[in-house]
């Protein structure tokens, strides 16, 4: 097999993009919105307030990828395809977008005025909540590799990664809190996040109250 004798370039590629061509495609396609919006920003094609448009676009894509991550399990449970092997790529894309979004806020918007940024984090709930969402994503991104799963053990790793519920919820609230009045867009995203989390809750409750296939082996054991 080719994989046994990889050139160093090939090895690098498999580390950065994964060896699975679908995963590779997800990363490449997933970064396209970032590349295009940066390109339009540099070419001064983002309208009257390019900073804000850039910042918003990156944040929005972070939220979209978080929602895509959360949709994978319900999709499988509802009889759809099992996309779980692509979840890591999508989750990492969410993290990359959140990091870019934060970078635009700190560097371009606030001009690296650390005092102003710190004051914002403490005083402005929408910034506090946004920072919380990002900080929660950091350990998830750091542990998104096979070595860390092995080191933490499957159960602990899975428990840690449930923090994505918190990150997605915080990101959706962050979006609602930074707009005036109640425009549709942030409400729709929040409804999607709420729906996907509610699905998990209902699934768990249903399992607990109704004996199902999973309960049977335990009964047999007893």
Partner 1 sequence: MLIRRPSDIQPSEITPRDQYLQRRQFMAGASALGLCTAIATMCGRTAQAAPLQAGKSPLSTTEEPLTPLKDITSYNNYYEFGTEKGDPVRNAHTLTIKPWKIKIDGLVAKPTDYDLDDLIKPTELEERVYRMRCVEGWSMVIPWVGVPLARLLQRLEPQASAKYVAFETLVRPAEMPGQRGLFQPLPWPYVEGLRLDEAMHPLTTLAVGLYGETLPNQNGAPVRLVVPWKYGFKGIKSIVRISLTDKQPPTTWNIANSGEYGFYSNVNPAVDHPRWSQATERRIGEGGLFAKRRPTLLFNGYAEQVASLYNGMDLKANY
20 versus 113: smaller Cβ distance to partner 1: 113
Query: What is the DSSP track for the chain?
Result: -GGGG--HHHHHHHHHH-S-HHHHHHHHHHHHHHHHHHHHHHTT-S-S-HHHHHHHHHHHHHHHHHHHHHHHHHHHHTT----GGGHHHHHHHHHHHHHHHHHIIIIIISTT-HHHHHHHHHH-HHHHHHHHHHHHHHHHHHT-SHHHHHHH-HHHHHHHHTHHHHHHHHHHHHHHHTSSS--HHHHHHHHHHHHHHHHHHHHHHHHHHS--TTHHHHHHH-
C-beta closer to partner 1: residue 118 or 203: 118
Is 111 an interacting residue with respect to partner 1 (CB under 8 A)? yes
Compare residues 46 and 193 and give the one whose CB is closer to partner 1. 46
Residues 6 or more apart whose CB falls under 8 angstroms from that of 30 comprise: 65, 89, 90, 93
Report if residue 170 touches partner 1, rule: CB under 8 A: no
Kindly tell me which residue out of 135, 149, 166, 177 binds partner 1, with binding defined by CB under 8 A: 177
Which window, 6-14, 79-87, 150-158, 182-190, contacts partner 1 (CB under 8 A)?
182-190
CB of 68 to partner 1, least distance (A): 23
Q: Cβ of residue 211: shortest distance to partner 1, in angstroms?
A: 42
**Of 80-88, 109-117, 156-164, 198-206, which segment contacts partner 1 by CB under 8 A?**
109-117
> Which range touches partner 1 (CB under 8 A), out of 19-27, 106-114, 149-157, 195-203?
106-114
The distance of closest approach from Cβ of residue 178 to partner 1 in the complex, given in angstroms and rounded to an integer, is: 7
Residue from 27, 126, 157, 199 in contact with partner 1 (CB under 8 A): 126
Q: Which residues bind partner 1 (CB under 8 A)?
A: 41-42, 44, 46-52, 54, 108-111, 116, 119-120, 123-126, 177-184, 187
């Amino acid at each position: 097999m080719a994989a046994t004798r990889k050139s160093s370039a090939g090895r690098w590629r498999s580390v950065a993009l994964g060896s699975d061509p679908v995963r590779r495609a997800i990363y490449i396609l997933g970064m396209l919105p970032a590349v295009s919006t940066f390109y339009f920003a540099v070419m001064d094609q983002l309208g009257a307030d390019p900073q804000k448009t850039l910042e918003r676009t990156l944040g929005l894509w972070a939220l979209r990828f978080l929602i895509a991550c959360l949709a994978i399990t319900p999709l499988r449970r509802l009889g759809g395809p099992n996309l779980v092997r692509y979840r890591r790529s999508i989750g990492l894309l969410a993290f990359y977008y959140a990091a870019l979004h934060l970078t635009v806020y700190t560097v371009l918007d606030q001009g690296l005025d650390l005092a102003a940024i710190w004051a914002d984090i403490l005083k402005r709930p929408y910034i506090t909540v946004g920072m919380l969402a990002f900080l929660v994503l950091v350990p998830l991104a750091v542990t998104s590799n096979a070595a860390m799963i092995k080191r933490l053990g499957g159960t602990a790793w899975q428990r840690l990664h449930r923090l994505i519920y918190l990150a997605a919820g915080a990101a959706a609230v962050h979006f609602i809190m930074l707009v005036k009045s109640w425009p549709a867009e942030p409400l729709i995203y929040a409804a999607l996040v709420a729906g996907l989390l509610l699905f998990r809750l209902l699934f768990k409750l249903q399992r607990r109250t109704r004996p199902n296939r999973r309960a049977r082996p335990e009964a047999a054991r007893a």
